[in-house]
């Protein structure tokens, strides 16, 4: 696979809109901050209806789907599924915006999956089953290809046929292909997860307009948290995307995230006119070759590839994922714990620069406060006297009610009398 040199199907070409609320936006706004603008009210209403269906109505069908789909793997109950350990690497020290955004989002995403090892805040009926490939089972891409050929020979044959017909897979910078992305989303109104609002409302303005100049692929600044996009192309000499000539027509794409030791298909979607050509199977196989390349520094130490929940989506999509060796797993989510005496209100008082409307204090401490050594609890000696403290330290300008706060933040370290 090379980098891009130029500026309801049973093929897996779909986005799991039930993973988090950010999923519905991810086709119009990447984690790296592509422009996002929806001015019309109707698209927002439609997206809200779809979200309502995903959160309230679709879970009513999970029980039957779960039983039927577990049976395909020879399991009578999901508690019998093997366990994968998921580590989001919350202690990442690079501090880039993508790290903070992905950690916050994926902690929420993974909380929706079933784990026998911890209590769940959500109703059991709404919890879903992780659908993943255990990458540790394969020492190389050849091992994976042999296993998939043994269990689903047609999958590999279709991918090879697509390659023989001239389709190719490249890493992409999405801003170079925004018209094709719009065309892909508008090509099918109903996909494996039902009605897709993007098929009706997405337009080129949602992706920042037509390409004006060729943009280079951005290399991730953090090896533990990143986003890469892959496109599957047909050669079209002279083919234009806005003001740039790409010479290639993009017919499908995948948005792949790394979050700690886990890879996650966030988007996986193909053009309705071409999915029957095997392009999405080729796309997946090429991505797996990239993932399992031992020389690839961006996938080293990854343990699993996730494609949403087993219960969601059509039977066609489930069959596609099963044939590509996705299987049900329980999760063991490594959660960064808070100090036993953490006090959210004290944390906000001690750190007034934190806006709890944007991020809960507990999340802020995990992502930033701990590494920044911020105070999280007002703590003073038993014999602390606020009035005495202010009298003995006339340079301290605060009310008696805030004297303990000042002592915690400054006075103790400065050995002030109290």
User: What is the pLDDT of the chain when averaged over all its residues?
Assistant: 86
pLDDT for residue 5 = 44
38 pLDDT above the threshold of 80? no
Residues 300 and 392 in one domain: no
Number of compact structural domains in the chain:
2
- Of the residues 334, 368, 384, the one at which a domain ends: 334
Residues 245 and 363 in one domain: no
Residues 360 and 271 in one domain: no
| Domain of 390, in residue numbers | 344-411
Residues 164 and 138 in one domain: yes
Distances (CA, A) of 168 to 19, 145, 221, 249: 29, 18, 27, 10
* Segment of 32-36, 262-266, 340-344, 375-379 carrying the highest mean pLDDT: 262-266
pTM: 0.78
pLDDT per position as a tens digit, 62-104: 889 999 999 999 999 999 999 999 998 876 666 677 787 788 7
Q: What is the CATH number of the domain that holds 250?
A: 3.40.630.30
Domain contains 418: no
Which burial class, exposed, middle or buried, applies to 86 when counting CB atoms under 10 A from its CB (0-12, 13-18, 19+)?
buried
Residues 369 and 260 in one domain: no
Residues 31 and 145 in one domain: yes
Domain contains 339: no
Domain contains 99: yes
Residues 190 and 51 in one domain: yes
Residues 107 and 40 in one domain: yes
pLDDT for residue 280 = 98
Residues 325 and 349 in one domain: no
Distance (Å, whole) CA 225 – CA 331: 19
Neighbours of 298 (CB within 10 A): 18
Residues 282 and 395 in one domain: no
Residues 383 and 260 in one domain: no
Q: Which residue has the higher pLDDT, 297 or 9?
A: 297
Q: Cα 140 from chain centroid?
A: 25
Domain contains 417: no
Percent of the chain with pLDDT over 90: 61
Residues 192 and 44 in one domain: yes
């Amino acid at each position: 696979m090379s980098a891009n040199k130029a500026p309801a199907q049973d093929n897996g070409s779909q986005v799991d809109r039930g993973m988090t609320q950010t999923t519905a936006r991810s086709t119009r706004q990447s984690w790296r901050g592509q422009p996002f603008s929806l001015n019309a009210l109707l698209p927002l209403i439609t997206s809200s209806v779809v979200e309502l269906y995903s959160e309230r109505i679709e879970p009513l069908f999970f029980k039957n789907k779960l039983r039927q789909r577990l049976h395909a793997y020879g399991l009578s109950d999901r508690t019998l599924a093997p366990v994968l350990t998921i580590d989001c690497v919350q202690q990442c020290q690079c501090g880039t915006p993508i790290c903070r955004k992905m950690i916050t989002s994926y902690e929420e995403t993974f909380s929706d999956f079933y784990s026998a090892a911890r209590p769940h805040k959500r109703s059991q009926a709404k919890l879903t089953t992780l659908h993943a490939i255990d990458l540790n089972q394969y020492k190389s891409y050849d091992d994976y290809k042999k296993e998939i050929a043994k269990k689903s020979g047609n999958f590999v044959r279709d991918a090879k046929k697509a390659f023989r017909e001239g389709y190719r897979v490249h890493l992409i910078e999405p801003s170079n292909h925004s018209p094709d992305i719009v065309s892909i989303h508008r090509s099918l109104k109903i996909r494996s997860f039902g009605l897709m609002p993007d098929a009706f409302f997405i337009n080129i303005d949602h992706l920042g307009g037509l390409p004006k100049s060729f943009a280079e692929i951005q290399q991730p600044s953090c090896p533990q948290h990143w986003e890469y996009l892959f496109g599957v192309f047909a050669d079209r000499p002279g083919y234009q995307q806005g003001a740039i000539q790409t010479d290639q027509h993009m017919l499908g794409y995948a948005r792949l995230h790394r979050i700690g030791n886990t890879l996650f298909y966030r988007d996986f979607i193909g053009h309705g006119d071409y999915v029957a050509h095997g392009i999405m199977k080729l796309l997946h196989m090429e991505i797996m070759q990239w993932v399992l390349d031992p020389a690839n520094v961006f996938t080293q130490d990854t343990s699993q590839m996730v494609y949403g929940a087993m219960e969601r989506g059509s039977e066609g999509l489930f069959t596609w994922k099963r044939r590509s060796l996705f299987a049900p797993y329980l999760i063991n989510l490594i959660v960064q714990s808070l100090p036993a005496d953490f006090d959210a209100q004290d944390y906000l008082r001690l750190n007034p620069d934190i806006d709890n409307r944007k991020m809960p204090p507990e999340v802020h401490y995990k992502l930033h406060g701990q590494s920044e050594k911020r105070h999280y609890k007002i703590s003073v000696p038993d014999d602390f006297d606020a009035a005495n403290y202010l009298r003995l330290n006339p340079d301290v300008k605060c009310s008696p009610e805030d004297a303990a706060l000042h002592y915690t933040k400054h006075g103790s370290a400065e050995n002030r009398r109290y």
